[in-house]
Amino acid sequence: MRPPFDPTLYLVTDTALAGPRGVPDVVRAAVAGGVTAVQVRDKDASCRQLYALTLSVKEVLAGTGVALFVNDDVEVALMAGADGVHVGQDDLPAAEVRERIGPDRLLGLSTGSDDELDVALALPSGTVDVVGIGPVWTTPTKPDAGAGLGPEGVAALAARAAAGGLRSVAIGGISPERAALVTGVDGICVVSAICAADDPAAAARALREVTTR
Ligand code: TZP
Ligand code: MG
């Protein structure tokens, strides 16, 4: 059975932005504020560090029902017993990742254009559980993500994803102030809006207020 996954408010972690508080404590606060899914992402971590970080976050999420994804690293996701893995366009192909992780884990895939979404939609049903669509706005968190698609561009891709049976989350530059502009997706995904917030629980609550309106 694939684990339950609520994409409404999806936190992607950033170790540098979490700072001395540490990622697990930021995740704990964010979940108290209403985050529904978490992805451990740390591009600077070694494999071993990512594994240790994933285990720490898994401990925080135990019993919460919040799904845990690992960014990029399929082996870390499997060894840590995460609920799923999230891959981008430069990572291993989604079909191969699905083969490796089997039917009982979640798979997310980043898409930022019609062509990338076409590839996701052409995969056998059940290969991908959720597509990340973005960036909505240009973001300093991922400068190489390129120009923003804008809320209209995201909504158009999200409509195509939904028509093809794929759930979607929007990512890139989303703040509590901007969140209401993002429509058509099943959830929003943030890094800095929560990880860089003085009060991650309050930031999550503010985002949830918009997503549940
Ligand atoms: N993929 C596309 S934009 C992005 C990722 C990982 C970063 C989003 O970060 P923020 O701080 O929510 O703009
Ligand atoms: Mg990646």
Q: Name the CATH code of domain 9-212 (choices 3.40.50.2300, 3.30.830.10, 3.20.20.70, 3.40.50.360).
A: 3.20.20.70
pLDDT at 123 over 70: yes
pLDDT for 212 equals 73
Pocket of ligand 1 (CB under 6 A): 12, 134-135, 139, 141-142, 145, 171-174, 190-193
ipTM for the whole predicted complex goes beyond 0.95: yes
pLDDT recorded at residue 146 = 87
CA distance 5 to 156: 23
Is 110 marked active-site?
A: yes
Q: Point out the ligand 1 atom lying closest to the alpha carbon of residue 195.
A: 11
pTM of the model: 0.98
Residue 139's SS3 state is coil
Decide: residue 47, CB within 10 A, 0-12 exposed, 13-18 middle, 19+ buried.
Answer: exposed
Q: What is the mean pLDDT of residues 192-197?
A: 98
Query: Could you tell me which of 18, 35, 28, 72 has the C-alpha nearest to residue 50?
Result: 72
58 flagged as catalytic: no
DSSP conformation letters of 28-90:
HHHHHHT--EEEE--TTS-HHHHHHHHHHHHHHHTTT--EEEEES-HHHHHHHT-SEEEE-TT
**Residue 105 among the catalytic residues:** no
* CA 129, 157, 186, 180 torsion-angle sign: positive
Distances (CA, A) of 151 to 1, 46, 51, 148: 34, 35, 35, 9
137-190 pLDDT, tens digit each = 999 999 999 899 999 999 999 999 999 999 999 999 999 999 999 999 999 999
Report how far ligand 1's centroid is from the alpha carbon of 131 (Å).
14
The span from the CA of 40 to the CA of 54, in Å, is 6
Please report the pLDDT score of residue 213 as a whole number: 62
